[in-house]
Amino acid sequence: MNDDLLGRHRAVLPDWLALYYDEPLEITHGEGRHVWDAQGNRYLDFFGGILTTMTAHALPEVTKAVTEQAERIVHSSTLYLNRPMVDLAERIAQLSGIPDARVFFTTSGTEANDTALLLATAYRRSNTILAMRNSYHGRSFSAVGVTGNRGWSPTSLSPLQTLYVHGGVRTRGPFADLDDYDYVAACVDDLKDLLGHSRPPAALIAEPIQGVGGFTSPPDGLYAAFREVLHERGVLWISDEVQTGWGRTGEHFWGWQAHARSGPPDMLTFAKGIGNGMSIGGVVARAEIMNCLDANSISTFGGTQITMAAGLANLTYLLEHDLQGNARRVGGLLIERLRAAAAHVPAVREVRGRGLMIGIELTKPGTDEADPAAASAVLEAARAGGLLIGKGGGHDTSALRVAPPLSLNVAEAEEGAAILEDALRSIQ
């Protein structure tokens, strides 16, 4: 049955639509932190549909909200008043930390980032964008144009002039050997030099922790230091919170809060986990920025009632059950367990991250040369042991990505770590 499905997939879908595993997996259902495939095998899920099943699979509160909303009305578009959309927008605006905030809902993180770029370029009357090396912001034409990761940027054509800044990867690049203070200072000097050779940019778009890039990040405070330089020139700061938002990092609700001395960003984008699998993305911006467009616009599917009902129920559950605190506690245990396991595996260059957002970078032992084959082998071995993880990275996809649902408990963290330890040892 699965072989037949794979053949049908290859016959009608694009060749570039990636599938994990030598024998691709069909997931048929899930519950809590587990999923099952078409052959009835159960897996502990440490990737959550690419950080999207944020709270738990088949969370009863979300399932109930979706069912009840579907019995009333599923969709009407933004041309009509929409109570669930207003309810969720009010909560997100308050949580964002952005003063006088306005919220626009989309269907994905790609579309959210695309909208933020539209707002920034219209507001600033500039098509120059600053972005980070090793970044990923989506698959639309404009989002690809600001993605600094060659593996996810299929064209150099773009409506934007993009300038790439140092700093998103702490342990690689020309400043890697500096201490944190000097590293930030060097990145700021590089930014100032770049600004001196370019037309005034519209915005800097940056992920506080680079997701597809392999869960890399700069020292805390880098983007605050950048913000001080940018603010003097009127350049906006867009924080791409598609993967870091909603408490996943444990220490903060938003990733930007690790860089908070200069206050919140001008805009933040979100998606993935807020819908717990339903298609929700969006932009939060100060009113003067959000309202700068001088033409009509709507969203046919952004903010539709059924997705907003799911988002409201999911956000309520997350806050009432302190899943941010759980990510901090259980994530802290998990990362230490993985670091202890990796200490005995020469192929592991680094275990990094915070909360339930952990990256394991693999290289050829004794070198800094990426080893994507090792990453693929660990992915396969983990699956064989009953664990699903992801992979990414800016150096030939050689980083493993570990991002379980935020309700993960200690026993499941220990179980997953043990499976992953065995998978890592298998490549020796």
Beta bridge partners of 106: 281
Take residue 361 and report the two structure tokens written for it. 């970078």
**Full DSSP string of 364-404:** STTS--B-HHHHHHHHHHHHHTTEE-EEE-TTTS-EEEE--
Q: Please tell me the least confidently modeled range out of 10-19, 66-75, 153-162, 290-299.
A: 153-162
Please enumerate in sequence order all residues whose Cβ is within 8 A of that of 111, keeping only pairs 6 or more positions apart, or say none: 138, 140, 281, 302
pLDDT digits (tens, 9 = 90+) for 168-218: 999 999 999 999 999 999 999 999 999 999 999 999 999 999 999 999 999
- The pLDDT of residue 2 is 58
302 and 215 in a common domain: yes
Take residue 96 and report the two structure tokens written for it. 């964002």
232 and 103 in a common domain: yes
CA distance 160 to 126: 9
Q: Please tell me the least confidently modeled range out of 156-160, 222-226, 366-370.
A: 156-160
pLDDT digits (tens, 9 = 90+) for 287-296: 999 999 999 9
Burial class (CB in 10 A: 0-12, 13-18, 19+), 28: exposed
- The pLDDT of residue 331 is 98
164 and 35 in a common domain: no
- The pLDDT of residue 247 is 98
Output helix, strand, coil percentages for the chain, rounded to the nearest 5: 40, 20, 40
- The pLDDT of residue 152 is 81
Q: How many domains does the chain have?
A: 2
Please determine, for residue 137, whether its predicted confidence score (pLDDT) is greater than 70: yes
pLDDT (mean) for 142-166: 90
Higher pLDDT, 81 or 260: 81
Strands (E), 207-296: 236-240, 267-270, 281-286
Take residue 107 and report the two structure tokens written for it. 């269907």
pLDDT digits (tens, 9 = 90+) for 325-371: 999 999 999 999 999 999 999 999 999 999 999 999 999 998 999 99
Decide which of 304, 320, 336 is a domain's last residue.
Answer: 320
- The pLDDT of residue 155 is 83
Distances (CA, A) of 121 to 11, 161, 163, 256: 40, 11, 14, 21
274 and 154 in a common domain: yes
pLDDT digits (tens, 9 = 90+) for 274-317: 999 999 999 999 999 999 999 999 999 999 999 999 999 999 99
Strand 387-388 relative to strand 42-45, pairing: parallel
108 and 36 in a common domain: no
> For residue 72, which amino acid is it?
R
Q: What is the mean pLDDT of the chain?
A: 96
401 and 284 in a common domain: no
3-state DSSP call for residue 263?
Answer: coil
316 and 272 in a common domain: yes
Residue whose entry in the numeric block shows the structure tokens 């379980």: 404
> Which CATH number goes with the domain that contains 339?
3.90.1150.10
Distances (CA, A) of 330 to 120, 257, 355, 414: 38, 20, 8, 10
140 and 280 in a common domain: yes
CA distance 244 to 226: 19
- The pLDDT of residue 395 is 67
> Which CATH number goes with the domain that contains 207?
3.40.640.10
387 and 282 in a common domain: no
Cβ atoms of 52 and 311 within 8 Å: the answer is: no
- The pLDDT of residue 1 is 46
172 and 293 in a common domain: yes
Query: Of 240, 273, 422, whose CA–CA distance to 344 is shortest?
Result: 422
Please enumerate in sequence order all residues whose Cβ is within 8 A of that of 373, keeping only pairs 6 or more positions apart, or say none: none
Domain extent at residue 153:
63-320
Decide which of 256, 287, 320 is a domain's last residue.
Answer: 320
> For residue 234, which amino acid is it?
G
Decide which of 290, 320, 350 is a domain's last residue.
Answer: 320
Rg (CA), the chain: 21
CA distance 245 to 273: 8
406 and 333 in a common domain: yes
164 and 103 in a common domain: yes
